Structure 1
C-alpha cells in the first residue's frame, strides 16, 4: 500500500492566535505610522530607543527566514523602515529582526524593529 505524498506545510496567511495578525486586522489598537497593502508600521509599546517602530507584513510568516521566500516583500519591509526613519527620525536607523526565542523573538510573526536615536523636529 502506498500513501499519497504529503503536501509541504505552508504558513497560514493569517493566524487567529497571533497578536500581530490581530493588530493587522484592527482587532487590537496600535499607534500606526504607516500602512499600505503589504505592511503596517506602528510604535512599539515598550520602546528601546526614542523611535521604535515595528514594520509588520500583513501576511503571517513566523520569522525573517520564512519572509526571505518572498524577497519583494522583504525589500518592501526595508523600504518602509527607511521611510519611517526619514519621516519620524533624522533618517539614520538600525533595523533588527529577532529570529527565534533565544534571539529575543517573543511574537512569532515576522517584524522588523526600526530604532533611531534622534527624532525629527516635532516628534515626541
Structure 2
C-alpha cells in the first residue's frame, strides 16, 4: 500500500480497539492503547497505537492525536526498560508498505535490545504464544508510572 489511501476500519488494530480481536494489553488510557506484538522481533516487542485515529500513517495524523501518542510511547518505553532491563531500546515507526508498514493505522514499535542478541525479522519466528505475551505484558504493565 502506498502512503495515500483510505483508512480501513477493519484493520487488525481497529479490531483490537473495538474488542473484536485479542491482545496482550500493556497499557491503556483515554488516548492510547499499548499491547505486545504477536510477531515479536525481540523479547518484549511492544506496540503503542492511538485510540481515536482514522489516519493510515503518522504523516496523515492530526497533531492533537500525536501529542498524547508520543507521551504514551515514552511512558511505555520507560516501563519496558524498567521491567526487562535491556541494554538499549529501539523505537520505530513506519509509513507506507515500502517503508515496512504492515498495519495501516499509526503505531510505534518499542523493541528492547541486548548486547549481542540479534533482532529477528517481523513474523519470521511465527506467532508468539499469547500466554507468554500476557506474562510479559503483566511485567511491563507493573512498571507503568
Normalization by structure 2: what TM-score?
A: 0.64
Higher helix share: 2
Aligned-pair distance for 1:26? 1.1
Contact 1:43 1:53 in 2 (8 A): yes
For 2:69 and 2:23, how far apart are their aligned partners in 1?
Answer: 22
Aligned-pair distance for 1:110? 0.5
Q: Give the secondary structure class of the aligned counterpart of 2:76.
A: helix
Q: Would you identify which runs of 4 or more consecutive aligned residues in structure 1 move more than 6 Å? A: none
Question: Which of the pair has more CA radius of gyration?
Answer: 1
Kindly indicate whether structure 1 or structure 2 has the higher relative contact order, using CA contacts under 8 Å at least 6 residues apart: 2
Contact 1:63 1:110 in 2 (8 A): yes
5+ long unaligned stretches in structure 1? 1-10
* Alignment equivalent of 1:78, drawn from 70, 73, 78: 73
Coordinate RMSD, CA, aligned = 2.6
Contact 1:33 1:84 in 2 (8 A): no
For 2:109 and 2:63, how far apart are their aligned partners in 1?
Answer: 20
Aligned-pair distance for 1:18? 2.0
Normalization by structure 1: what TM-score?
A: 0.73
Task: Give the match for residue 12 of structure 2.
Answer: 19
Contact 1:67 1:73 in 2 (8 A): no
5+ long unaligned stretches in structure 2? 1-5, 115-135, 140-145
For 1:83 and 1:55, how far apart are their aligned partners in 2?
Answer: 13
43-52 or 80-89, which moves further after superposition? 80-89
Aligned-pair distance for 1:68? 6.0
